[in-house]
Chains A and B, each alone.
Chain A
Amino acid sequence: MKDSATLDLTDLPSHGLGTASVSWWGTLAFMLIEGTGFALSIVVYLYLMSLAPHWPLDAAPPDLLAGTILTALLIASLVPNIFLARWARSQDLLKVRIGLIVMSLLGMAPLILRVFEFPAMHIKWDQNAYGSIVWVMLGLHTTHILTDLVETLVLTCLMFSRHGDNARRYGDVSDNTMYWNFVVATWLPMYACLYWVPRL
Chain B
Amino acid sequence: MTGRDSTDSRDTGFNDGELDHRLASVWSTPPGLWGALSSVDHKIIGRRYISTAFVFLALGGLLALLMRLQLAQPEARFIGPDRYNQIFTVHGTNMMFLFAVPVMQAMAVYLVPLMVGTRNIAFPRLNAFSYWMYLAGGLLLWIAFVLDTGPDIGWFAYVPLSGPQYAAGKRADIWAQMITFTEVSALAVAVEIVVTVFKQRAPGMSLDRIPLFVWSMLVTSFLVILAMPAIMIASTSLILDRLVETHLFNPAEGGDVLLWQHLFWFFGHPEVYIIFLPAVGMVSTIVATFTRRPVFGYLAMVMALIATGVLAFGLWVHHMFVAGLPRLGESFFTASSMAIAVPAGLQIFCWLATMWAGKPIFKTPFLFVIGFMVTFVVGGLTGVMVASVPFDTQVHDTYFVVAHFHYVLVGGAVFPLLGAIYYWFPKLTGRMMSETVGRWVFGLIFAGFNLTFFPMHILGLRGMPRRVYTYQPEMPWSALNLFISLSASILALGFLLFFIDVIRSARSGAAASSNPWGASTLEWATSSPPPPYNFARLPVIGSLEALSDQSTALPVATGLRVDRRELLVSSVVEAIPEARESSAGDSIWPLWAALATTATLIWSIFTPWAVVWGSIPVAIALIGWFWPKGVPEDES
- The reply to whether the CB of A189 lies closer than 8 angstroms to some CB of chain B is no
- The reply to whether the CB of B259 lies closer than 8 angstroms to some CB of chain A is yes
Q: Tell me which of A10-18, A67-75, A99-107 binds B.
A: A10-18
By the criterion CB–CB under 8 Å, are A40 and B246 in contact?
Answer: no
Question: In which size bucket is the chain B interface?
Answer: 35 or more
By the criterion CB–CB under 8 Å, are A10 and B230 in contact?
Answer: no
Q: Tell me which of B468-476, B481-489, B628-636 binds A.
A: B628-636
By the criterion CB–CB under 8 Å, are A16 and B579 in contact?
Answer: yes
Given contacts A22-B199, A25-B198, A130-B254, contact A9 B558 (CB under 8 A): yes
By the criterion CB–CB under 8 Å, are B636 and A7 in contact?
Answer: no
By the criterion CB–CB under 8 Å, are A5 and B579 in contact?
Answer: no
Contact residues in B for A16 (Cβ distance below 8 Å): 199, 569, 578-579, 581
By the criterion CB–CB under 8 Å, are A135 and B195 in contact?
Answer: no
Bound Cα distance A12, B1 (Å):
9
- The reply to whether the CB of A200 lies closer than 8 angstroms to some CB of chain B is no
Contact residues in B for A48 (Cβ distance below 8 Å): 248, 254-256, 259
Bound Cα distance A126, B608 (Å):
14
Q: Tell me which of B426-434, B548-556, B593-601 binds A.
A: B548-556
Contact residues in B for A5 (Cβ distance below 8 Å): 537, 555-558
Rounded to whole Å, the gap between the CB of B229 and the closest CB of chain A is: 4
**A-B contacts, CB under 8 A, total:** 217
Q: Tell me which of B101-109, B237-245, B378-386 binds A.
A: B237-245
Rounded to whole Å, the gap between the CB of B56 and the closest CB of chain A is: 25
- The reply to whether the CB of B12 lies closer than 8 angstroms to some CB of chain A is yes
Given contacts A33-B187, A132-B255, contact A22 B195 (CB under 8 A): yes
Bound Cα distance A32, B233 (Å):
15
- The reply to whether the CB of B203 lies closer than 8 angstroms to some CB of chain A is yes
- For A91, give the chain B residue with the smallest CB separation: B1
By the criterion CB–CB under 8 Å, are B200 and A22 in contact?
Answer: yes
Additional pairs, 15, CB under 8 Å, beyond known A52-B254, A126-B247, A166-B635: A9-B538, A9-B559, A14-B635, A16-B579, A21-B579, A25-B122, A33-B191, A36-B225, A44-B233, A48-B256, A57-B253, A126-B245, A129-B250, A129-B253, A168-B636
- The reply to whether the CB of A37 lies closer than 8 angstroms to some CB of chain B is yes
Rounded to whole Å, the gap between the CB of B634 and the closest CB of chain A is: 6
Taking Cβ atoms with an 8 Å cutoff, the residues of A that contact B are 1-17, 19-22, 25-26, 29-30, 32-34, 36-37, 40-41, 44, 47-48, 51-52, 57, 125-133, 135-136, 150, 154, 158, 163, 166-169
Rounded to whole Å, the gap between the CB of B34 and the closest CB of chain A is: 25
Rounded to whole Å, the gap between the CB of B601 and the closest CB of chain A is: 15
Partner of B195, one of A25, A129, A133: A25
- The reply to whether the CB of B582 lies closer than 8 angstroms to some CB of chain A is yes
The 19 listed contacts between A and B (C-beta, < 8 Å) are A4-B556, A5-B557, A7-B556, A14-B2, A16-B199, A17-B579, A22-B123, A22-B195, A25-B199, A26-B191, A29-B190, A34-B229, A44-B237, A44-B259, A126-B246, A131-B247, A150-B619, A154-B627, A168-B636
